[in-house]
Amino acid sequence: MSPMQIKNIFFVLLTAVLANSCDQSDQKAQRFVPDSNGRINSVTVVMPEQDWQGELGKTTRELIGKAYEGLPLDEPQFSLNYMNPKVFTDFARHSRNILWFIKDSIPRFELSQNQFARPQIVARFSGEDAQIQNNYLIENASLINQTLIESERQEKLRRIKKSKATENVLKEKFGIDLIYPSAYKIFKEEEDFVWIQKPIQKGHLNFAVYTLPKAAMYGKVNQRIIALRDSIGKQHIPGRLPNTYMSTEEAYRPYFYKTTLQDRPTYLTKGMWDVAGDYMAGPFVNYMILDAEKNRWVVLEGFAFAPSISKREYMFELSTILSSVTFEKP
């Protein structure tokens, strides 16, 4: 079973948990639960300090704090914040994501939602010693990671919706909709290509939307995806200097996945872009979505230019925006 198939299974499980929580909303309304706190992609880890410095802490950092894919330098998927159990009380329990390791005679693993605050994910690992807890962590690491990723995606969308863009250009041109902040503005608009950009302190975040005929995808998929995005870059995304354009960085091997968005077959690619002849480069995420009803591929690509600073949160924002895509009903 491929990593993406496993991911989809975990997503279904998480969706079922979230749906069940919604069904019980009336019951939850009777109990006051404070708002959770914490930065996006931040996780509080509660265990004795000796365990944090030992094998259990090492496993936690390796499995939950593993590298975010597709960045030029390694950055963790989640920032782990250690907390001693002695201070894990009251307000400290309002963190949005918690991994809680507890010494108990009954060994078990529990994954719960909104236990101390809302929204919140709490993963509890109980056992007589750190080795038993460590085993539960290893067995459930994939489920925990996918649960946290989806929970953080939903939280990011919730925050974006507070100041959501109201432009209709994507709906008018392509029959799709994306949820993105109003700080993003149209940078370039052509007949079958739209480039939307947001300035940041040391660069800019971008996403482009365009379509390709269904017949454009042939031969070896991985090679064809790169060839197509390079041809689009040459045609639509110029560099700062004359006769330069964005292309795929050859020295960095992209990540390729086959998945689904909106129940449509999708190719997901993460990699690095650069501009030959210019000092510009950065990470990108590319979704190629098959729109069989219209005999086309809808391509959504996000790319960041943010030299000398961390890029995880920027790429997470772009991935969240692109994965929010919805299609008009035929």
Q: Domains in the chain: how many in total? A: 2
Could you tell me if 135 and 223 lie in one domain?
no
> Could you read off the pLDDT of 65-84 as tens digits, one per residue?
999 999 999 999 999 999 99
Could you tell me if 131 and 198 lie in one domain?
no
Could you tell me if 107 and 232 lie in one domain?
no
Q: Beta strand 97-103 with 176-177: parallel, antiparallel or unpaired? A: unpaired
> Could you read off the pLDDT of 39-60 as tens digits, one per residue?
999 999 999 999 999 999 999 9
Could you tell me if 182 and 278 lie in one domain?
yes
Cβ neighbours of residue 302 under 8 Å, at least 6 residues apart? 205, 206, 207, 284, 285, 286, 315, 318, 319, 321, 322
The Cα 234–Cα 173 span in angstroms is: 22
Does the structure show a pLDDT above 90 at 15?
Answer: no
| Residue 26 confidence class, pLDDT cut points 50, 70, 90 | very low
Could you tell me if 176 and 152 lie in one domain?
no
> Could you read off the pLDDT of 110-141 as tens digits, one per residue?
999 999 999 999 999 999 999 999 999 999 99
The Cα 217–Cα 192 span in angstroms is: 18
The CA angle 266-162-302, to the nearest 5 degrees, is 30
pTM of the model: 0.88
Could you tell me if 81 and 203 lie in one domain?
no
Last residue of a domain, one of 112, 129, 160: 160
> Could you read off the pLDDT of 196-251 as tens digits, one per residue?
999 998 899 999 999 999 999 999 999 999 999 999 999 999 998 999 999 999 88
Q: Where are the beta strands (DSSP E) in 214-280?
A: 246-248, 255-261, 264-275
Does the structure show a pLDDT above 50 at 171?
Answer: yes
Could you tell me if 318 and 236 lie in one domain?
yes
Instruction: Evaluate whether 164 touches 182 at the Cβ level (below 8 Å).
Output: yes
Q: What CATH number corresponds to the domain at position 263?
A: 3.40.1000.10
Could you tell me if 81 and 148 lie in one domain?
yes
Determine the average pLDDT of the residues in 185-205. 95
Last residue of a domain, one of 141, 160, 179: 160
pLDDT value of residue 31: 67
pLDDT value of residue 6: 41
Range of 172's domain?
164-327
Last residue of a domain, one of 160, 182, 201: 160
Could you tell me if 13 and 71 lie in one domain?
yes
| Residue 3 confidence class, pLDDT cut points 50, 70, 90 | very low
What is the enclosing helix (H) or strand (E) of 213?
Answer: strand 203-213
What percent of the chain lies above the pLDDT cut of 70? 91
Could you tell me if 111 and 132 lie in one domain?
yes
Could you tell me if 115 and 131 lie in one domain?
yes
Could you tell me if 217 and 139 lie in one domain?
no
